[in-house]
Structure 1
Amino acid sequence: MSGIERFEAPPTNQITTFETAELTALCPFDFGGPDHYDLTIKYEPDGHCLESRSLKLWLESYRDEEITAERLADELYRDISRSIEPARLYVRLEQARRGGIEETVEVGERALC
């Protein structure tokens, strides 16, 4: 398990969105510095919700990990899916522009956009 805590979802039909511009991870290539990301997580609960404090701490654990944007988006999606088993889930990871190139990776249910 990823360390993300969860709680029982209310019975109403909801879409929950988390956004942060504070996600960082280390570039796994020769650059060696941190990559900065804007992250959006949207989900429709199916029994459980993400607990925001543990989500923040879990995301902070990536700051010392060497990982590509593609791999990071995939890991975030898989770990959240395992933690709360949502009805629908969407993860959008936007890497800060570097060298004139912007990269965005999207995983999951785009209908939640």
Structure 2
Amino acid sequence: MPSQRQPQTVTQPTKELQVFPNPNPERDYEITFECPEFTCLCPLTGQPDFASFEIRYVPDQLCVESKSLKLYLWSFRNEGAFHEKVTNDIANHIIEAVDPRHLTIEGTFFVRGGITTLVTVRHDKAGRAASAPRPASAKRRAPVALPGRGRLVKAGR
């Protein structure tokens, strides 16, 4: 799935993640992508599910190119997927593309039937100490819609 060929102007969803060489592979540093506009379809009802993803990773030799990540996440828009599966699929594709030293993905699926779902996937490269889960008090609260504003804010942060 990873590709290091010359970039092209892509404006359609794609399952291909573009990558580039890590400019500082000798150092551990974390890259965070906040993706507040994720959508997929409920596999049972066909109705849209809306989510916000926070993707944090420590790169090894390769990094994920951000526009390709946007187009990759966009590719789920018309697919039916359970929250748990789609979050793990995204993690698997990133691991396959860049083999990060550490990866944490948090998918917050907005309220449906009175329930907000938070799916967290963690991955540590073989031979590295596993990261501990964040304490419950440090976990993000579900984004809430502001009436009449058409935007989301993170409560309690």
SS in 1 for 2:88: helix
RMSD: 1.5
In 2, are the aligned partners of 1:25 and 1:36 still within 8 Å (CA)?
Answer: yes
What is aligned with 2:89?
75
RCO greater where, 1 or 2, for CA within 8 Å and sep 6 or more? Answer: 1
In 2, are the aligned partners of 1:43 and 1:112 still within 8 Å (CA)?
Answer: no
The separation in 1 between residues aligned to 2:109 and 2:16, in whole angstroms, is 24
The separation in 2 between residues aligned to 1:64 and 1:80, in whole angstroms, is 20
What is aligned with 1:92?
106
Q: Please identify which structure carries the higher strand content.
A: 1
SS in 1 for 2:75: helix
The separation in 2 between residues aligned to 1:67 and 1:98, in whole angstroms, is 15
Stretches of structure 2 lacking an aligned partner (at least 5 in a row) = 2-14, 124-130, 135-157
2:30 matched to 1:18? no
Q: CA deviation at 1:98?
A: 1.1
2:29 matched to 1:29? no
TM-score of the superposed pair, with normalisation by structure 1: 0.93
Stretches of structure 1 lacking an aligned partner (at least 5 in a row) = none
Amino acid of the residue matched to residue 83 of structure 2? A
Amino acid of the residue matched to residue 106 of structure 2? R
In 2, are the aligned partners of 1:24 and 1:36 still within 8 Å (CA)?
Answer: yes
Change (3 A) 1:112 1:9: farther
Q: CA deviation at 1:13?
A: 2.8
* Runs (4+) off by over 6 Å: none
What is aligned with 2:145?
none
Residues 53-108 of structure 1 show CA distances to partners (whole Å, capped at 9, x for unaligned) of: 11100100000000000000110000000000000001100100111111110001
SS in 1 for 2:90: helix
% identical aligned pairs = 36
In 2, are the aligned partners of 1:24 and 1:63 still within 8 Å (CA)?
Answer: yes
Whichever of the two has the greater Rg, that structure is 2
Change (3 A) 1:111 1:19: farther
Q: CA deviation at 1:112?
A: 8.2
The separation in 2 between residues aligned to 1:25 and 1:111, in whole angstroms, is 29
The separation in 1 between residues aligned to 2:40 and 2:132, in whole angstroms, is 28
TM-score of the superposed pair, with normalisation by structure 2: 0.68
The separation in 2 between residues aligned to 1:81 and 1:112, in whole angstroms, is 19
